Amino acid sequence: MKKYLVEFIGTFFLAMTVGMTVIGASAGALAPVAIGSALMIMVYAGGHVSGGHYNPAVTLAVWLRGRCATKDVLPYWVAQILGALAASAVVLFLKGDTMATPTDLKTQPALLAEFLGTFALCYVVLNVATAKATAGNSNYGLAIGFTVMVMAYALGGVSGGAFNPAVATGITAMHLAKASNFWIYLLGNLGGGAVAALTFKFVNPEDK
């Protein structure tokens, strides 16, 4: 139960940071820095308890890689989604329901951007946090947080830069993304996580 609570807390603060920095553009061009930093500190804070996924796509990747028990996958997803929804409620309370105008996405570029960004994130997670060769390192949280920051700068203008189905749920509830575009995040993110896991296993066949 503790690890599910940790997943809820970590996802909550990640999604809250997204909403608080993006709505009203309060952080301006530094929003990706704040978001990547929020993920980094939450990974360091809860990684030793739950693995610090805070992202259904990461949970999928870690499960396919063989480092997450099947019985934990659905509870992790539920905790992550609930964390993002709770964050959206807090953000709307603090900021007011600004009814921001969601960006119109071009389907194919947005789908590819979400796939690539999530692939990068999951590939980094698997290599720095689950690989035998990097076991015990102290920089895994920094690498993971920086990956989100870099991908947000590189691809955020194309898709909104969720790279996380839970965050996509949160930004949809905050009116930052259209509900009709949710499938783009779901497919791109889970697809990116799955391919990252398969790639890791291909590159590291001896790392069971």
pLDDT at 87 over 70: yes
Does residue 208 form part of some domain?
no
User: How many domains is the chain built from?
Assistant: 1
What's the pLDDT tens digit per position in 96-140? 866 667 778 999 999 999 999 999 999 999 999 999 999 888 899
CB 151 within 8 A of CB 121: yes
What's the pLDDT tens digit per position in 42-85? 999 999 999 999 999 999 999 999 999 999 999 999 999 999 99
CATH code of 91's domain: 1.20.1080.10
Does residue 61 form part of some domain?
yes
What's the pLDDT tens digit per position in 131-145? 999 988 889 999 999
Does residue 118 form part of some domain?
yes
Does residue 143 form part of some domain?
yes
The two tokens of residue 5 are 């609570």
- Burial class for 100, CB neighbours closer than 10 Å (0-12, 13-18, 19+): middle
State the pTM of this model: 0.95
Does residue 52 form part of some domain?
yes
CB 129 within 8 A of CB 48: no
Does residue 170 form part of some domain?
yes
Does residue 56 form part of some domain?
yes
Where in the sequence is the domain holding 149, given as residue range(s)? Answer: 2-203
The two tokens of residue 134 are 């990097």
